[in-house]
Structure 1
Amino acid sequence: MHKKKGFSLIEILVVLVVIAFATKMVVYSLDGGAEDELDAQALRLHTTINMASEFAILNQVELGLLVEKNTLEYLVFDGEKWVTFDREELFKPIELEPRLKLTLNLEDLAWAQDNLLEQSNWRELMSGGEDDSLLELKKLKIPQVLILSSGEVSAFQLILELKDQSDPVYFIEGEFTAPVNLRREPE
């Protein structure tokens, strides 16, 4: 009997399938790092916002959140103006990695309509009188979200996601009182 030299079509296809699965596993393991970082940052932001609310209640201080350029900064009202709250290590400004995207949504939130904080224009109240020059107002840090010593939180939605992927997305939502909620889409 004459033996064939070479590989059969089935053997070649099996090898191709194995290579395809191995390649896919490597790609998933590389992307897992970004998703793990997203998971960790979402949990960190959620936890620190809730701890800031507890801190405000226990110490009878007014805190605020300011989101600018992928950075979340905690502010404290010192009686005259808002200043960076960095006396506690936990509340120092949080700068996210470039591959993550942080967006603050304050508009069209279903739960915000009944919130008394949203009915008054507190940003105007905090910015002082009409005597202040526009240049001085721009220098002042004014929070976009209030965390009050009464336990109230102004309505907000923080959206945390990867810049280059649409899924998963984390939503951190403040609905008038602490604690704030954390949810992931898709679940």
Structure 2
Amino acid sequence: MSKSPFDQFPQIESAAITLRKITDSDLDELFEIYSNERLFVHSPVMLKKNKETVANMIGHFERDFLKKKTIFLGICLNKEPERIVGVAEIFDYVQDVNMITIGYRLDDRFWGQGIATEAVQAMTEYLFKELGINRIQAFVMPENSKSQKVLLRNYFRKEGTIRQGQLWKGHGVVDLDVFSRLDGDEIKY
């Protein structure tokens, strides 16, 4: 039996990172992330050049959780739990199918350290073990090889490409590779 991801706001911990609620005190780091052009080359979210806009987003994160729409989590290193280095998203929960979509973006100063891979692993374990979700999916632009590798390292399977099937802000109509993992997938370590 699955639980709704919106019953309780999660805090997800692993050996090196914690995914936690984003608060007003995270504004400076959040602005660094959302104003960094390199992080939005392959993203449907638009770059934010105004700190006030990012401050408003923090309130919208709470609203989106209460509306059962999206869970935004700050990715923090356990050695610096007060500082977010990225944002993880859990969204588009479809109860009838028992599936959910994930996304993530990491401050580029932390790329190549396994943090995104660990964040996806932590989200996946939480969604399968704590909530009983059956299917987790992610959509990635075909050019975004780094994000694809993060998913493949977490035993997601590439299902195929949705050709010119989504409108992403700032990109127009795009192709998207679909990756998924089922709770019952046999994982070969």
Normalising by structure 1, what TM-score?
0.25
Higher RCO structure, 1 or 2 (CA under 8 Å, sep 6+): 1
Bigger-Rg structure (1/2): 1
Using structure 2 for the length normalisation, give the TM-score. 0.24
